[in-house]
Amino acid sequence: MGKIAVVAVLILFQALKLSGQVFTPSATFSKDSIRIGEEVVYSLSIRFPKQIDIVFPDTLYDFFPFELNAKVAFATMSDSLFSFDSAVYYLTTFEIDTIQRLELPVFLVTKGDSIIIKPGPDSIRLIQVVKTIPDSIAMLENTAFSNVRLSFNYPYLVVGVTAFILISLIIFLVFGKGIRKRIALYRLHRFHRKFMESFVKAIQNLNPRQDYPKLEKLLLLWKKYMEQLNKKPYSKLTSQEIKVLYPDKDLTKALQHIDGAIYGGILDKKIARSFDYLRRVSEDSFHTKTEEIKND
């Protein structure tokens, strides 16, 4: 993001504070405590100036220590000056920490970058189902005769345990690297599948003349995916800077076409083709990353 855009946003923030307008997200859990595996609702909302674009965390976001089950976003409500966006997240936790916190940010989309706005963390208490075990237990005496089994063959137990440990160690040394690769590939495929479902659906439903504000959000979604996949700051780079990281003439043309629609108002029906080319680039990057992991 350019220095002028940063200064403009900061001036807008300061003006909102001086005028008494609240520009801070509101986030809260629907209840104070849950059990492990129980679903809880997390609500996120924000009131902001109408001319600003806001993006909420989607399925690709890391919700740790919670896992996302579903997200429901509500339609934007606006008056002459302000808009109001809200969404609810259905979460589950399997962590055992007594107090668990979550602070979902809101992303303020600017030209070529985004600003993170945090609502402040909200916490929820985990209900412990298993209570403290007492130090001593009262024993019931029984003097009646009992037929005792023969003594256990402990040498066999020692041999069996030793053999199990040795076999496990050999398997780890021989196949440990392959197991780690399988885990990495599984996570990569899961991450890629989630992105493609969201991105392709957005392209299919895209109407450039009606959904103009969504073009920049869709471009940011692609940059976030490429950033996490290749560990390079795509979301902070302009189209010309991305050209250095990914020297592809067709990609450069597609990004320039999208920039023209977003920043120049040059709208046409071919914009979906440009976004579809971004999808193809992400597919190629995914396959390249897959081969890197396999050949490591």
Rounded Cα gap, residues 45 and 133, in angstroms: 43
Neighbours of 226 (CB within 10 A): 24
How do the domains of the chain map onto residue ranges?
20-126, 188-295
Write down the pLDDT at residue 290: 92
Residue 271, pLDDT score: 85
| pLDDT recorded at residue 17 | 47
pLDDT at 87: 93
Tell me the per-residue pLDDT of 251-274, one tens digit each, with 9 for 90 and over.
999 898 888 888 777 667 788 889
20-126 fold = Immunoglobulin-like (2.60.40)
Q: What is the model's pLDDT at position 168?
A: 82
Quote the pLDDT of residue 43: 94
Predicted pLDDT of residue 19: 42
pLDDT at 88: 95
Residue 48 near residue 26, CB atoms below 8 Å: no
Q: pLDDT at position 139, please?
A: 61
pTM value is 0.43
Cα distance between residue 217 and residue 56, in whole Å: 10
Q: Using alpha carbons, select from 45, 101, 104 the residue that is nearest to residue 77.
A: 45
Residue with the two structure tokens 């993170």:
116
26 vs 37: CA distance, rounded Å: 25
pLDDT of residue 1: 43
Compute the distance between CA of residue 95 and CA of residue 61 in angstroms, rounded to an integer: 18
pLDDT for 2: 47
Q: List the chain residues with pLDDT less than 50.
A: 1-3, 5-11, 15-22
